[in-house]
Structure 1
Amino acid sequence: MKKRLQETVLELIVQKGLKFTMNDIAARQGISKRTIYEHFNSKQHIIETLVDDAIKEVKQREQMIFQQKNWSYEQKLKAVLLIVPSGLRFGDTEVLMQMKRFAPNEWEKIDHLLQDEWKTVQQIIELGIQEGEFRSLHVPSVIQLLRGASMAIFDPDFHTHEVKPLPEAVATMVDVVMHGMINKREL
């Protein structure tokens, strides 16, 4: 039942953003609010659970990618940088803005993930340099560049002026980081 409630909330977030109510959940599920409160003690608790699940998903996907034996470090780096959680709609601009405004504690968790959780990326880059797949670069500078780019791309304020969905903006960022901006032409 808890998973069904979470799925219902994700559907409501797509329709209403974070402005859904416990009554909306109950009506959608055809249950009483009391049943919801058996699994979640508040709307905030539901949002907290969804954010925690999304962060857990990101970390699990990172580890699955990192452990791929037959992938190049370039493939691993690109795949890790392209991760956008599938559950909570981080790709929805309005949800990001509402999260920052109405769920600041949960936004702080997302912000922490974007700023501080770069160990897997760092390992991939360092191993790629050791194996000669990447150029020898100052890894802390690369991580800082990626951190800044990610913060900018995931910033809800950026999306108020931009119409591209978040996954497309992330893909552009990754493409520029991995391949630069110069159009390589044969001479």
Structure 2
Amino acid sequence: MRERILKETMRLIQQKGFAFTVSDLAQGLAISKRTIYEHFSSKEEIVESIVDSLIQHIQQREREIAADGQLGVLEKIHQILICLPQEVEKMDMRLLTDLKKFHYNQWEKLDAFFREEWGIVSKLMEQGMAEGVIKPIPLPLFIDLYLGAIQQMYDSRATVKHQMPLGELLKSIMDILLFGIAAGQGKEK
């Protein structure tokens, strides 16, 4: 039942954002609110489970991508920094703003994960620099640029956040950060 509740919660989040109610959830599942509260103590606990699951999924995918011998170091970095669960990939960036507004503690947990979990990527970037695939750059600067680009998307004045789903937005940010904006012939060495 917990999995059904979480799956329906994800559907409601995609539909209504984080402003959904437990009554909405009960109605969507055709069960009573009491049944939901037998499995979760509060809406906050449901959202916490969603965020924890998201973080665990990303960590698992990072390990899988890093261990994939078929991928080069640059492709590994690219895939890791855009990896999102399929349910989240098509979501609108406004949902992160909603999470911050309605469930600040969970937003802080997710934000801390994005700011602090750089071990695998840092090792891959160091490997890429050692192999000459990546220019020698200060890693903290790259991390700050990536995080700054993500933070900018939370800004209500950001023009692009309403035009692209989250997965597409992350891919575009990574393409620009890893490959730059110069076309093949326009790149100067």
Q: What TM-score comes out, normalization by structure 1 length?
A: 0.88
1:80 offset after TM fit, Å?
A: 0.7
Residue 57 of structure 1 is matched in structure 2 by 57
Which amino acid in the other structure matches residue 59 of structure 2?
K
Residue 178 (structure 2) pairs with residue 178 (structure 1): yes
Q: Is the 8 A contact 1:17 1:98 kept in 2?
A: yes
**Paired residue type of 1:177:** L
Q: How many residues align?
A: 186
2:107 maps to 107
Check if 1:35 corresponds to 2:43: no
**Gaps in structure 2 of 5+ consecutive residues:** none
**Equivalent residue runs for 1:91-130 within 5 Å:** 91-130=91-130
Is the contact made by 1:50 and 1:88 (CA closer than 8 Å) also made in structure 2? no
Structure 1: any 5+ residue segments left out of the alignment? none
Letter of the 1:145 partner, please give it: L
Per-residue CA shift, 1:102-145, capped at 9, x if unaligned?
A: 11001101111221111111011011122232223333332332
The answer to whether the 8 Å contact 1:54/1:87 transfers is no
How much does 1:161 deviate? 6.2
The structural deviation recorded for 1:12 is: 1.2
Greater shift in the superposed pair: 48-57 or 144-153: 144-153
Displacement of 1:98: 1.4
User: In terms of mean alpha carbon deviation, does 132-141 or 36-45 score higher?
Assistant: 132-141
Q: Does 1:81 align with 2:81?
A: yes
Residue 146 to residue 19, structure 1, CA distance change in 2 (3 Å) = closer
Name the CA shift for 1:5/1:156 in 2 (closer, same or farther; >3 Å).
Answer: farther
Matched, 1:148 2:116: no
TM-score, normalised by the number of residues in structure 2: 0.87
The 1:90/1:107 distance shift into structure 2, 3 A limit, reads farther
